[in-house]
Every structure is written in structure tokens, then in C-alpha cells.
Amino acid sequence: MNRFSIFNHKYIMFHHLKKIRKAVYAILGIAVISIYVFSSCLNRQGQKEFSGVDRKKIEAVINNALSKDPSEHNTDWFGTMPLAGLLSWHKMGYYPEVKDYVLKWLDYHYESHKTISDEEFHDRTSAGRCTVIRGYTLLLALYCGYPGVNFVCGPLYQLTDNEIARQVCKDVGDLVLNKIPRNEMGLLHHDDHDLTRGFTIPDAAYFYVPALFIAAKAYDKEVSEGDATAKEIQSKLIADGCDQLKKFTDLFLDREKKITKTIYRDGKLGETYWTRANGWLLWTIVESVEYLDKNSEIYAYACDALDVIAQGISKYQDKSGAMRLLVNEENTPLETTGTIFTAYGIHKAVRLGWIDKKYLDIAYKAWNYVDTQLDDDGNLSGCYFGWAIPAENRELNQFGNLKSAPGMLLTAGAEFAKSPIIN
């Protein structure tokens, strides 16, 4: 065989090998795609249809919030819940304008709080005549609605390194740790009105307990630099957060009925199980667990409490997916905000592995129901605008606009935009 024949033979073999290799790659590609499609079909067969809230409706809620001048959002929970919801979307890469919007909100209140009177401050907010506390970065008051500012300033500091936001978080920690009154059981008061009654509610737990953990995180920088004083303050904040989490849960969670009592006053619990009380306690726990040591007793305690609440919701959730105004009373109306609380709290607890995946359907059903209560302009219906006292007094016809509801919706919507399960 001459040299040309050998070369030609090798060329033919190489050409055939290239064809064979391409064919193998093509077969492997088809196999991978087929396995993916097949497994996806299997997964869908095991799931009920889930649509959830229409994204265009969510966008309408966001646009409604952003259409206001930042100064129109105050610094109590009516103003901070919508901003916290907006930041939840921004942190996932949506709505880049949100960061500057919230910074303008903070700058406005930082400057204006330097000169306004207590009366003007009360007029801006829902604090009633609670005692105004000066000397902090922002004006605060002895009322549970104000520590909710940490749900805004905590993530704002993470996004921007804004030192004013970080100092607000520290201030709130000091307010809760050292100035908010506590009742005879050691629980933080709802406010400083008539301290003889020991009045507190699960709403207060939500605004106080996670705020303590967020405040503790604000000291991470100094602690990492070896600041012993910062370490001591951080430890006290974490310890108080854990203590209050357990105290509020022990008091309000009825482990027999597996739902949450509405109110504590005059040395005893109330009679009713208001839907938002159930939701506030659920959110208190899910917004606190991420800060807890996974090997600690309080972590195990919190996850167990979440499981108990999930069992109760599973028992009492209406077939429509909604929660009733008084959770265990079938003759009371379906209510939207309590349903939003349910959707978010259960979904997050399942997604992060704090409770079993079997509860996920509760969240999906609740979120599907919320879609039926939200119109194309971003307006929610079916919201109880009353609070714990009228709910306990069975004043059940107070339905209409609730200023904080859009914030609840945005926070829940951002949660559902994440992958359902990561554990």
C-alpha cells in the first residue's frame, strides 16, 4: 500500500468517526431531553393545578405603591409594610427603582423628624397618643407598630450599606429591649396605654420579635472587629428575641385546637381565634426562625410550633382556600388578609424545610383564593379593617380598605415567585 492510499484510508476512518461521534451526541441529547420531559410530566401528575395571583395584578399593586411620593409612606406599619413588600421584589432583581425610592423615604423622615412636634408625629401615624421617644435616628413611640421599620431598614442596609438604615435597626433594638413596657408575664405590651391591663396581642409579637433579631444583625460589623460592647448588646437582643418568641407562642397558641387566640388582657386570654392573630403568630415565627441556631432548643421549638399551626390551618381552611374571620367558626365571613398570611407563612416554612412538604397544598389553595379577591387595578377586597379588639368583641362587619394589606400581598407574592421547594 502506497503512502497516498494509507493517508486516504486514515482520512476515511476519521471522517466516519466524526459522523459516529455526532450521532452519539445527538442520541445523548435526545435522551436527556426525553428524561427531563418525562420526569416533568410525572411531577405534574402528582400536583394539583396552581395558577396563583396573576403577575399583572401584582404589578398593579407595585405601581400603586410607587405612584405615591415616598413621604406619603409613614414610619409605622401602615407605611413600612408596603415598603418591605417592594424590597422583597427588588432583592430578587425586579423593579430597580425601588432602592432609590426607599432611600428617599428614609431621607425624608430622617430630616423631617428633626423638627416636627409630637402632635404632628401622631397625625402622620397610627400611634394614637402613645409616648413619643426622641433621641433616636427617627422618632419612635411606645407602640408595637414602629419596630416594623426594621423590616425596611434591615434589607435596605444589606442592599446599600446605608449607615442611617443600620442605626435605625440598632435604635429599634434598644427601644424594644429597654423602653417598651412589659406585662406581668414578661411579654411586651402592645403600647403604653393603661399598663394595668397587661394588654398584648400576636400582632405585637410580629413587630417586636423579628425586629430584635434584625437589630442584632446590625451589630455584626462591630462584633467581627472584636468590639466587646457590641457583642454584649447583640447577645442581649438575641436572647430577648428567643425569650419573647417562646413567651408569645406559649401564651397564644392553643395546642389543643392548633390555632391562635386573639388577645390577652386583664390577666386572661380572650375567647376568639381571629384569623389575623393566627397569621401574625405564623409570620412572627417564620420571620424569626432564619436567625436561630439550627442546633438550639428554640429552633426545634419554633419548627414544632409551625407544624402545629399548619395542622390547625389544614383543619379549618375553607374549601375555597380562604380562612374565616374567626378561624374555627364556620358562620363567620371568609377573610382575605388572614388568607394572605396563611399562604406566605406556610409556603416559606415548607420551602425552607421547617415543616413537611405535605402542607404545601394549603399555601397554594390560599394563594389561588387571594387571586379571586384582587382586581386588575391592584385593589383587594374581602379585607377586615378592624383589629384584635373589635374581632374579640365579634364586631365582624368591618370590611373595606386596609392600608397595610398591599404590603402583605407584595411580601407574599415575592415568596411565591421563588422556587416552591428547596429542601
Condensed to tens digits (0 to 9), the pLDDT of residues 236-275 reads 999 999 999 999 999 999 999 999 999 999 999 999 999 9
How far apart are alpha carbons 303 and 286 in whole angstroms? 9
The domain locations on the chain are: 71-249, 255-423
Q: Which 8-state DSSP code applies to residue 359?
A: G
The pLDDT of residue 53: 80
Weakly modelled stretches of the chain, pLDDT under 70: 1-51, 127, 419-423
Read off the pTM: 0.87
Q: Cβ–Cβ contacts within 10 Å for residue 371, how many?
A: 14
Residue 252's alpha-carbon distances to 205, 249, 280, 394, in angstroms, are 10, 5, 11, 18
Please give the distance of CA 161 from its chain centroid, rounded to a whole number: 22
Strand partners, 269: 264
The pLDDT of residue 194: 87
* Segment holding 268, helix H or strand E: strand 268-269
How far apart are alpha carbons 149 and 169 in whole angstroms? 8
Condensed to tens digits (0 to 9), the pLDDT of residues 6-53 reads 444 444 444 555 555 555 555 555 444 443 333 333 333 333 334 578
CATH architecture observed for domain 255-423: Alpha/alpha barrel (1.50)
Place of cell 434584625: 214
Please list, in sequence order, all residues whose beta carbon lies within 8 angstroms of the beta carbon of residue 26, skipping any fewer than 6 positions away: none
With CA atoms as reference, report the closest residue to 299 among 213, 189, 194, 376.
213
Phi, psi of 133 (to 5 degrees): -110, 120
C-alpha cell at 139: 422618632
Residue 249's alpha-carbon distances to 14, 242, 259, 402, in angstroms, are 73, 11, 11, 26
Condensed to tens digits (0 to 9), the pLDDT of residues 389-415 reads 999 999 999 999 888 999 999 999 999
How far apart are alpha carbons 277 and 15 in whole angstroms? 73
Phi, psi of 267 (to 5 degrees): 80, 10
